[in-house]
Structure 1
Amino acid sequence: MTQPDYSLEAAALAQGHLRIAGVDEVGRGPLAGPVTAAAVVLDGAAIPEGLDDSKKLSLKKRAALEGLILSSAQTAIAHATVEEIDSLNILRASHLAMERAVAALDPAPDYLLIDGNLIPKGLVLPCEAVVKGDAKSLSIAAASIIAKLERDRIMVDLAQQFPGYGWEKNAGYPSKQHREALVQLGVTPHHRRSFKPVHNILYQE
């Protein structure tokens, strides 16, 4: 299993770039909640040990790494709302969240490593798309950790307001409990109406 490393960042530094940000998003698949993106500029001299794709890490490990990332790197987090997801589509909304996260970095980066195979059209900085970037780039891995923990916290908060859907455990993804609750309890303001399971309940014959 491959581990992310600093080679993509090192290549950008060798080209004369000084501030390389890794950018990742989380929350494309859920039926509810925002999509969240993070941008992280690591300090090459103080990279936290154990950075990896957030999906491969335990909650305890993610939380420990979050503290190390926040204390040693420059980070920014941004979101696209459920309304934006429904009006734009999930891909464009996830790109919008990425664009907002990059814009929130101050000072601004001068090179971007973007997780995925597409570069958001609103980004004008030099950048490269990295397929499975959270498993290849330490900066993108750090961004995946920051974005996931932030979005999970949002869903835990929303679960207090709308109990029964299991968002504190499923983060809005279509688990069995979530799908059953949709039928029994109905659609909340935080559900993505453009997503088929939600749309079908709203517009069933």
Structure 2
Amino acid sequence: MYLGVDEAGKGPVLGPMVAAAVLAAPAALPPDIDDSKRLAPARREAIDATLRDAARVAVGVAFVEPAEIDRPDTDMNTLTVRGQARAVRNALATDLAAELDEPIRVVADAGDTSEPRFARRLSEFVRESGDGTVATDLPAVDVSASHGADEADPVVGAASVVAKVARDARMASIDDDYPAYDGLGSGYPSDPATRSFLRAYVADHGAVPDCARRSWATCDDVLAAAEQSGLDEF
């Protein structure tokens, strides 16, 4: 039994990035676990429900909201490792984790070009408490990280599914917050529905919505286009 960790939603212009950690033995997982991007939505949701209902599986989830993503004193590599660390801490706080001998093995999908650097930072950030001090009430961890772990490792694949399902659920909730519009789409900059929503919202309000990552170039483009349109009309 070990812990796998991954994230979903690093690139969208709308909504949070979500990290998830799953503590399980590979034999306890559904047989068709895979990287979430290679599974149909209905199958992801079924796997997520199975994992959360299983007695010998523990799940931890953490959200990195747009306001944190937009902070000027951080970057996506750091946000990714911090999000994963929060998810790991949540999984480590479960009764199942308390049963295990230390150190607990953690396998991460590397969110950095350097796999060893990502593993080192994740190990360090897992030990950080919310106020920046070192947490002393958590079990020791032995962290490794690799690119493509969500495809190669079933427990990391399970974490990728949980993260994707959690992000999709949050996006559906955010969509409900904007009933005057025709939907947010996937939240990715390449999605025409997402860009259409941003253009319509900016046209109505003169600013991007709170669910948007204001620091993304997509938001700058939409705001600049709206400003130019106003100048042309003037």
Structures share a fold, TM > 0.5? yes
Displacement over 6 Å in runs of 4+: none
Q: 1:104 aligns with which of 90, 100, 107?
A: 90
Larger Rg: 2
For 2:209 and 2:182, locate their aligned partners in 1 and report how far apart those are by CA, in whole Å.
Answer: 10
Q: CA deviation at 1:176?
A: 0.9
148-157 vs 118-127, which moves further: 118-127
2:116 is the alignment partner of 1:113: no
After TM superposition, list the pairs within 5 Å mapping 1:17-32 onto structure 2.
19-32=1-14
2:63 is the alignment partner of 1:79: yes
Which residue pairs with 2:126 in the alignment?
123
Q: Give the unaligned 5+ runs of structure 1.
A: 1-18
| Distance change (3 Å), C-alpha of 1:139 and 1:165 | farther
| Identity level (%) | 30
Q: Is the 8 A contact 1:159 1:165 kept in 2?
A: no
Q: Is the 8 A contact 1:165 1:178 kept in 2?
A: no
| Amino acid corresponding to residue 87 of structure 2 in structure 1 | A
Q: Is the 8 A contact 1:99 1:122 kept in 2?
A: yes
Which residue pairs with 2:25 in the alignment?
43
For 1:62 and 1:112, locate their aligned partners in 2 and report how far apart those are by CA, in whole Å.
Answer: 22
For 1:148 and 1:83, locate their aligned partners in 2 and report how far apart those are by CA, in whole Å.
Answer: 20
TM-score by length of 1: 0.82
TM-score by length of 2: 0.73
Which residue pairs with 1:188 in the alignment?
209
Which residue pairs with 1:166 in the alignment?
183
Q: CA deviation at 1:48?
A: 1.5
Q: 2:35 aligns with which of 53, 75, 80?
A: 53
Q: Is the 8 A contact 1:134 1:140 kept in 2?
A: yes
Q: Is the 8 A contact 2:2 2:25 kept in 1?
A: no
User: Could you say what the CA RMSD is over the residues aligned between the two structures, in angstroms?
Assistant: 1.9
Q: CA deviation at 1:45?
A: 4.2
For 1:165 and 1:132, locate their aligned partners in 2 and report how far apart those are by CA, in whole Å.
Answer: 35
Which residue pairs with 1:69 in the alignment?
51
Q: Give the unaligned 5+ runs of structure 2.
A: 98-102, 128-140, 203-207, 229-234
Q: CA deviation at 1:69?
A: 1.3
For 2:51 and 2:30, locate their aligned partners in 1 and report how far apart those are by CA, in whole Å.
Answer: 7
Q: Is the 8 A contact 1:165 1:182 kept in 2?
A: no
Which residue pairs with 2:76 in the alignment?
90
For 1:152 and 1:165, locate their aligned partners in 2 and report how far apart those are by CA, in whole Å.
Answer: 17
